[in-house]
Amino acid sequence: MILSKATISLLCLLLLLSIFMANLLNIIATDHNFYIENKNAGMNHTKRLNDKYGQIGDSTKNIIWFLQISDIHISIFRDPGRISQFQQFCDSTVRRIKPSLVLATGDLTDAKAKDNLGSSQVKKEWIYYHNIIKESGVTDETVWLDIRGNHDNFNIKTLNSQENYFRNYSVQGVYHSKSYVHIENKNGVKVAFLGIDACPEPGLRRPFNFIGILDLQEQQTLQKLKSEADTKADHIIWFGHYPTSCILSLKRDTQRFDLRELMGSSQASQVYVCGHLHAMGGLVPRMYTKQRKGFLELELGDWKDNRMFRLAAIDHGIFSFVDQKHSTWPLVLVTNPKHARYAMAGREPLQLIAESTHIRILAFSDVEIETVKISFDKESWLKCRVAGGPLYVCQWLPHLFRVGLHYMYVTVTDEVGKEVVLEHPFSLDGSLINFEVTPRILLMLDAGAVFQAIFATLLLANVIPLLLLRLQKRPPRYRRKFGSHVLRRIWLLSKIDRIFYPIVLYALYTPFGPWAIGELIDGYTGVIFAWGIIIKDSYLPEPFTYMYGSVQLMFVQLPLVFVLAYCLETRVFSPTVRGIKRLIKNVPFIFLLSIQFLLAYFFWLEYGTMAFIFGPLRTWSIFLSILLWYKIWTLPPEYCRKLSNLNDLPS
């Protein structure tokens, strides 16, 4: 049986798709053999924790809890509720929960202009942040660990620039200009909180400030901080603004620094908490995964729009957390038994759960807690008692739950009747619940590589079909009439030298030539390329440029081919069309031109007049589109007849 070309093409496509999916699933796999590969180290680490903490009972010792807040985006131009409710968080929430410390993981201020496109540090926003923390007295009762995000780095020439207000108006900026470690030794638990500042230097204005960069100096700093944390603490909590998928490490010699490898190389590392992605606008509210090295990575939804914060605890060496919306009470966190999805074999003494005597629950409210009850069947309920502070305990018989996945139900009621009911899955034999696919993709892939792949795909989609159609001597065929009609028009377009060469050469220009020359930082002129940015005698390999170029290829370059082919059809086959009918025929081009003007206008607001004038990507493409459109409508009549004859050739 002889296979047709279409069948062979389909089989090849399916094969490539299968290979792609297999590689993707391998990258985002969480059921890896990390613990088996590091069994001895894991056993030694957990045995030491077992010996230190002993049995999990009803004692208030060996437990600490802390809070995280991220992407506050204090702004003087929009949403004053961010400021007033952040004041409430410091005045009320933190005082009520009494955490050992608070992690503020970047984007402390908004640093965006009134038009929402321009970006620069706004001193008044930093003063608001500073005064709220100072006047609330929160730092008198707890440790406040803040670190910079990309918004806190907009338009900053150097760390020592006057505009780097983090140095003077944050809590930790006075002591730490970038990454640092804080050792917390409290209530029998020794934890190192290691902050990662991946803000690039210099800090560009938006949008080319989306990916974090670790230069060689910062890589060395992190290695030293990690060694210090290993020496002084039993547990390491890593925190920063950018997810690891959005951090690029510059190469040292021929070897690239691997941040996830560094985090995972210590058995004490339990979790990396971050922000930045804003839960993808609320579409991915539980952006959690377990990295291949066996530690958790947990992105926290933003304060900016969603008013989210996180409560986390380490109880007898076991890490637990819950994310909560501001002013939503009661707040409940089960610390024993641990949630089955987030168990970290080899990093936590999980065997203590099976030997424990008591269920342990942290419960908070803005008023007094009245009752805390638990059940395993939703029918018979056991009342928990107060062990001390917010810790509630209840005796249980863990041997009844040794095999498989089980569910515990918790009901907490406060004195004014507010109630929360939660379902808590747990297991004592290592049975796990899978992480959702979307968070794994967002947190486990390399964002820079994804941006490059999208750009390369769109570039090929703009060039290869035109080249193939130009090489084809007869009109292409397609089963569906509409598809065949469109293909024939693009085929005719590819035969016109004055149209074909400018379109293809402009597309090929995008990965190589400069996109814009302008003042990317106040007082400093830089050049933007697809592969990075050159400014201030520095090269920034900012991968977000690929995504920026992808927008041009997807919404300008590709539609331009179809629009010109549509105009060509009218010019060749309906040359007598005039007046209002011709105007209607040009509506798609007018719409496309409007998009180009809008993109160029946004670019002008972001980077100024110089970048607008010397901007081949955004501004000059407008003139190219107009020129090609003009060439279509002014094709000589004899040339139109030649194209019409070509179209009449049999397929």
Statement: residue 577 has pLDDT above 90: no
CB 603 within 8 A of CB 612: yes
Q: Provide the 8-state DSSP code for 115.
A: T
Residues in the chain: 651
Q: What are the beta bridge partners of residue 534? A: 527, 539
**Residue written as tokens 């620039």?**
161
- Contact present, 363 and 412 (Cβ < 8 Å): yes
- Do 165 and 146 form a contact (C-beta atoms < 8 A)? no
From 118, 206, 119, select the one nearest 605 (Cα to Cα).
Answer: 118
Q: Which has more pLDDT, 44 or 228?
A: 228
Residue 1, pLDDT score: 43
Q: What is the pLDDT of residues 162-207, one digit of tens each?
A: 999 999 999 999 999 999 999 999 999 999 999 999 999 999 998 8
**Contact indicator for 106, 150 with CB cutoff of 8 Å:** yes
Q: Higher-confidence residue: 571 or 71?
A: 71
Question: Do 352 and 390 touch, CB atoms closer than 8 A?
Answer: no
Q: Are 289 and 440 in contact (CB under 8 A)?
A: yes
Q: Do the beta carbons of residue 158 and residue 202 sit within 8 Å?
A: yes
Sequence-ordered list of residues with C-beta below 8 angstroms from that of 238, at least 6 positions apart, any chain? 194, 195, 196, 263, 269, 271, 272, 273
Pair of tokens at residue 308: 């989210």
The SS3 call for residue 428 is: coil
CA 227 to chain centre: 28
User: Which pLDDT value is given to residue 218?
Assistant: 95
Give the count of beta carbons closer than 10 Å to the beta carbon of residue 438.
Answer: 15
Does the domain formed by 33-52+65-444 have CATH 3.30.365.10? no
Render 362-429 in DSSP notation, one character per residue.
EEE-SS-EEEEEEESSSSS-EE-EEEETTEEEEE--GGGG-SSEEEEEEEEEETTS-EEEEEEEEESS
Contact between 120 and 205 under an 8 Å Cβ cutoff? The reply is yes
Rounded CA-CA distance 458/29 in Å is 28
Are the C-beta atoms of 475 and 646 separated by less than 8 Å? Answer: yes
The model's pLDDT over 12-64, given as tens digits with 9 standing for 90+, comes to 666 666 665 555 556 666 655 555 566 777 788 889 999 999 899 999 999 99
Domain locations in the chain as residue ranges: 33-52+65-444, 447-647
Q: How far apart are the first and last CA of the chain?
A: 25
Please report how the helices 619-633 and 587-613 are oriented relative to each other, as an axis angle in degrees rounded to 10: 140
pLDDT above 90 covers a percentage of the chain that reads 75
Cα(11)–Cα(570) distance, integer angstroms: 38
Upstream peptide bond of 637 is cis (omega within 30 degrees of 0): no
> Please, are residues 228 and 193 in contact by the beta-carbon 8 Å criterion?
no
Q: Which of 396-400, 474-478, 590-594 has the lowest mean pLDDT?
A: 474-478
**Centroid of chain to Cα 615:** 28
- By the 8 A CB rule, do 62 and 360 touch? no
Backbone torsions φ then ψ of 456, nearest 5 degrees:
-65, -40
pLDDT of residue 650: 61
The yes-or-no verdict on residue 112 having pLDDT over 80 is: yes
Cα(198)–Cα(260) distance, rounded to whole angstroms?
A: 14
Residue type, 190: K
* Sign of torsion over alpha carbons 425, 430, 431, 433: positive
Higher-confidence residue: 10 or 612? 612
CB atoms closer than 10 angstroms to residue 205: 24
User: Is 8 a residue whose pLDDT tops 70?
Assistant: no
Going by DSSP bridges, is the β-strand pair 143-147/101-105 parallel, antiparallel, or unpaired? parallel
The pLDDT tens digits of the residues spanning 609-637 come to 999 999 999 999 999 999 999 999 888 88
| Neighbouring C-beta atoms of residue 230, cutoff 10 Å | 16
- Ramachandran assignment for 516, one of left (phi > 0), alpha (psi -120 to 50 degrees), beta (any other): beta
Q: How far is residue 294's CA from residue 261's CA, in Å, rounded to a whole number?
A: 10
Nearest in space to 251 (alpha carbons), one of 282, 227, 219, 221: 219
Percentage of the chain surpassing pLDDT 70? 92
| Cα–Cα distance, 262 to 257 (Å, whole number) | 8
Is the alpha carbon torsion for 126, 132, 137, 141 positive or negative?
Answer: negative
Contacts of 117 (CB under 8 A, 6+ apart): 206, 602, 605, 606
Mean pLDDT of 70-87: 95
The pLDDT confidence band at residue 65, using thresholds 50, 70 and 90, is very high
Using omega within 30 degrees of 0 as the cis cutoff, is the peptide bond preceding 207 cis?
A: yes
In angstroms, the CA 255 to CA 257 distance is 6
Work out the pLDDT band at 542, boundaries 50, 70, 90.
Answer: confident
Looking up tokens 């469109």, which residue turns up?
A: 486
Judged on CB neighbours under 10 Å (0-12, 13-18, 19+), 239 is buried
Angle between helices 558-573 and 619-633 (to 10 degrees): 20
Give the confidence band of 10 by pLDDT, cuts at 50, 70, 90: low
Q: Which of 310-314, 419-423, 531-535, 584-588 has the lowest mean pLDDT?
A: 584-588
State both tokens at 153. Answer: 């780095």
Mean pLDDT score of the chain, rounded to an integer? 90
Least confident of 249-253, 315-319, 601-605: 249-253
Please give the full DSSP string across 193-228, using - where no structure is assigned: EEEE----SSBPPTTS--SEEE-HHHHHHHHHHHHH
Q: Is 248:212 a contact under the CB 8 Å cutoff?
A: yes
319: tokens are: 């890490």
DSSP 555-576: IIIHHHHHHHHHHHHHHHH-TT
Above 90 in pLDDT, residue 514?
A: yes
pLDDT tier, 404 (very low <50, low <70, confident <90, very high otherwise):
very high
Put the strands of the sheet holding 532-535 in their side by side order: 516-521, 524-529, 532-535, 538-540
237-275 tens-digit pLDDT: 999 999 999 999 988 766 778 999 999 999 999 999 999
Instruction: State the Cα angle at 279 between 275 and 280, rounded to 5°.
Output: 120
* Model confidence at 566: pLDDT above 80: yes
The pTM (predicted TM-score) of the whole model is 0.91
pLDDT value of position 630: 93
CA dihedral 163, 169, 173, 179 (to 10 degrees): -70
